[in-house]
Each structure stands twice: as C-alpha cells, then as structure tokens.
C-alpha cells in the first residue's frame, strides 16, 4: 500500500534552490564525470526524437546528483566515457526506464546495466499498478505536481524554451525524493529486495530486446495459430524489414506495420495487384512491392524442413478450470507477500511457464521467473501445469495444423 508523504516547504525550497548547469563542452563533461564518480545515487532522464527515424536522436540528458542538476547537450558531446561511468554508479534512478535504457544500449554497446532502480516498478509493488506515469506518481507519492505539456516538443532546437528547460529539469528534480519515499515504504513493507530484483530483470529484458537476432524478430508478431509456412514468411519479412529500416533510417512501421505483415501471411499475394488489397502504403508497394513478392515466392519454394517450429499454445488456451487453479494459487501467494497479483504474475509469464512445462528440453526461464519467484513457481505453479500435460493437454491439437 502506498501512503502519500508530502514534501515539507523546506524540502521543496531546497529542491528549487538546486543549481542548474548546462554541459556543452567535453571539458565540462569530464568535470561532471569526476563528480559522478563520487556519488552513490543519481536521477536520470533523457529527451530524444524518434518520430521518423529508426535510430533515436538523443537531444538531452538530465542528471540530478542531489547537489546539482545537469543538462547535457548530447548532440555536442562524445559520450562514450559517460556511458561507462554511468554503469559504475551504485544506483541510477529512472522512471519508466524502457526507452532511456534502449538509447543507452544502442549508443554504448555495453552489457545490461545492473544498477538501475525504476520508480515505476517500485510503485507497482505499493499500488498494484504497473504503469503509473511520472506526473501521477509524483502526486500520489510526495504530493508534487509537474507539467508534462512539453513531452512532444522539439528537443533538438537550441536554445530550449524556458518551458522546455523547466520541464526537463523537473523530470529529475523530484525523482530523487520520490525514490527515497518509495524505498522507505518498500523497506518497511518487506518488499524492497523484490522490487530491486525486478528492476534488474527489466533492464535485462530491455537489453535482450535490443540484442534479438534479426531472424528471431518475427516472434513478436507471430501467432500460435500460424502454420510453419506462415511463420517462415513472417520470419523472412521481419528480417528484411529490419535490415531495410536500419539502412534507410526509418521506423519499421514506415515499411510494414504489424497489421500488414499479418495480412500478407494470412493471404500471401502473388501479384502487385493483390498487394494493393492490403493495408500497405501505396508508396511502399511502389518502392518495395516486387521485393516483397520475391521474398514470399522464395519461402514457397523452400524445403519446409527449414521452416520455423510451431509456436507453443498460450496460457489462455488452458481450460477455465486450470486457469482458475492458477489464479487461486497466485492470489493466495500474493496475499501472503502483500503483493498485487498483477505484479506477482503476468499473463505473458504464465504463457512462458506453460511453454516451459510442455517443452521436452527445458529452456532457460526469463529473469523475472528465475529469481525470487522461482521457488514458489516450482512448488505451486508448475505442478498445476504438469498435471494438465499428464492428462493430455490441448497441445496435442496443435501438432499437425494444415500447411
């Protein structure tokens, strides 16, 4: 349970009095790096542009050391040493860190961070909500209101408007005191270590997403009902789309949206005319239509032994009785730990566990499931799934779909 702990007027004044420094030169950056090597905890945020490009354009990095706020003019700086120093700081606090860490992994070429605390994840343990925005999180935790009206503005323009600079500063000004309040309540409720571990699981998940081989990208769009030829087409198209998107620096969806990919594999076209009946943009058909048809035809002519394997059935394919057993076990354990069921176990994790249970060769579980949840999963969740498999689970219906 989250208890609002408003900041005192003195605390608010102290935060407003923090000096703000722009970092626009390498010398200024090196001075900041020396300071960062002496701190234990910082708050971090980034502003970037990624509307029309595959690769995000990093425009600004905001840091709060507790003694000062720094605005790094990213386009003017070589940041290689900054990324390395960032990895060595004991605790880096962010809120909803997915996109920020995506930029870190893209630009740094360094391993997954292990020092991140995401206040959004921490608040999930206290509220049962997994995606509280920064504005609402501040209000409910420390009774601070910030304006979020500049989030979609042009962060590459210089100088920034006063509104932009205020927005950027506020994104880290209050993040440290919110972190302190969250840590205190998590510690008092015996949930701190669970939250810390989940933050590290998330950073590893983001890293894995950014290092996914091109030939595995189709899995994010594939459906368990797809036959092997459809999966092979999807795999080929996703791999081609990824390479093209990188080469022309345009978003994947500029080339083929998920809906268009589904339309292609569900009714594979033989002609440009048939491609025109899909939701693919006309200019994409003109530029790449023949290439798409060639890729599809190549898959048709391949030996089906090279096609990907069928996907395992999802958790939702289980009978309602089995799902109720699982939900009961999750609810009981959540009550024991005082953790909301949606934080303790997500639907996609149950699907992962079902795939694990039916697999002849057991795959490695994701970090979320191989940490503090694992002993409970092995003792209570997998036995329920194993019973289903022993009693002829519906997986047998999935073995020989029509090609």
Helices 192-210 & 119-127 angle (0-180, nearest 10): 130
Q: How far is CA 189 from CA 21, 148, 228, 331, 401, in A?
A: 37, 31, 49, 18, 50
H/E element holding 208? helix 192-210
Q: How far is CA 80 from CA 29, 40, 84, 259, in A?
A: 11, 21, 7, 38
Q: Which two tokens stand for residue 382?
A: 């997998």
What is the Cβ-side half-sphere exposure of residue 23, based on CA atoms within 13 angstroms? 26
pLDDT tens for each residue of the chain, 403 residues long: 999 999 999 999 999 999 999 999 999 999 999 999 999 999 999 999 988 999 999 999 999 999 999 999 999 999 999 999 999 999 999 999 999 999 999 999 899 999 999 999 999 999 999 999 999 999 999 999 999 888 889 999 999 999 999 999 999 999 999 999 999 999 999 999 999 999 999 999 999 998 999 999 999 999 999 999 999 999 999 999 999 999 999 999 999 999 999 999 999 999 999 999 999 999 999 999 999 999 999 999 999 999 999 998 888 888 999 999 999 999 999 999 999 999 999 999 999 999 999 888 899 999 999 999 999 999 999 999 998 888 754 444 454 444 4
| Alpha-carbon span 334 to 343, nearest angstrom | 9
Predicted TM-score of the model (pTM):
0.92
Strands 57-64 and 69-72: antiparallel
């Amino acid at each position: 349970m989250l208890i609002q702990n408003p900041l005192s007027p003195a605390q608010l004044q102290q935060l407003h009095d923090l000096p703000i420094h722009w970092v626009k030169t390498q010398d200024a950056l090196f001075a900041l790096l020396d300071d960062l090597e002496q701190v234990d905890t910082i708050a971090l945020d980034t502003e970037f542009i990624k509307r029309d490009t595959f690769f995000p354009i990093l425009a600004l990095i905001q840091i709060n050391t507790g003694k000062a706020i720094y605005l790094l003019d990213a386009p003017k700086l070589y940041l290689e040493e900054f990324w390395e120093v960032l990895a060595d700081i004991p605790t880096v606090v962010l809120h909803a860190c997915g996109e920020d860490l995506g930029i870190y992994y893209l630009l740094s070429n360094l391993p997954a961070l292990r020092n991140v605390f995401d206040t959004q994840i921490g608040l999930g343990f206290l509220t049962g909500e997994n995606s509280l925005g920064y504005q609402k999180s501040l209000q409910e935790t420390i009774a601070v209101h910030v304006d979020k009206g500049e989030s979609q503005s042009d962060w590459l323009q210089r100088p920034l408007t006063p509104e932009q600079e205020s927005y950027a500063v506020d994104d880290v000004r209050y993040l440290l005191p919110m972190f302190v309040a969250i840590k205190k309540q998590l510690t008092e409720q015996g949930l701190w270590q669970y939250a810390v571990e989940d933050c590290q699981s998330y950073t590893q998940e983001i890293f894995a997403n950014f290092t996914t081989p091109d030939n595995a990208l189709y899995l994010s769009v594939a459906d368990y009902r797809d036959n092997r030829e459809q999966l092979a087409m999807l795999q080929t198209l996703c791999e081609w789309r990824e390479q093209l998107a990188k080469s022309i620096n345009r978003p994947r969806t500029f080339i083929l949206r998920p809906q268009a990919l589904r339309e292609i594999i569900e009714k594979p076209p033989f002609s440009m005319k048939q491609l025109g009946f899909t939701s693919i943009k006309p200019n994409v058909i003109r530029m790449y239509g023949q290439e798409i048809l060639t890729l599809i035809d190549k898959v048709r002519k391949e030996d089906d032994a090279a096609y990907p394997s069928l996907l395992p059935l999802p958790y939702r394919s289980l009978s309602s009785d089995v799902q109720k057993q699982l939900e009961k076990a999750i609810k009981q354990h959540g009550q024991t730990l005082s953790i909301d069921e949606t934080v303790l176990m997500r639907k996609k994790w149950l699907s992962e566990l079902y795939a694990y249970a039916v697999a002849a060769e057991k795959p490695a579980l994701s970090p979320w499931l191989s940490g503090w949840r694992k002993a409970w999963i092995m003792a209570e969740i997998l036995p329920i799934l194993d019973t289903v498999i022993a009693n002829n689970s519906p997986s047998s219906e999935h073995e020989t779909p029509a090609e």
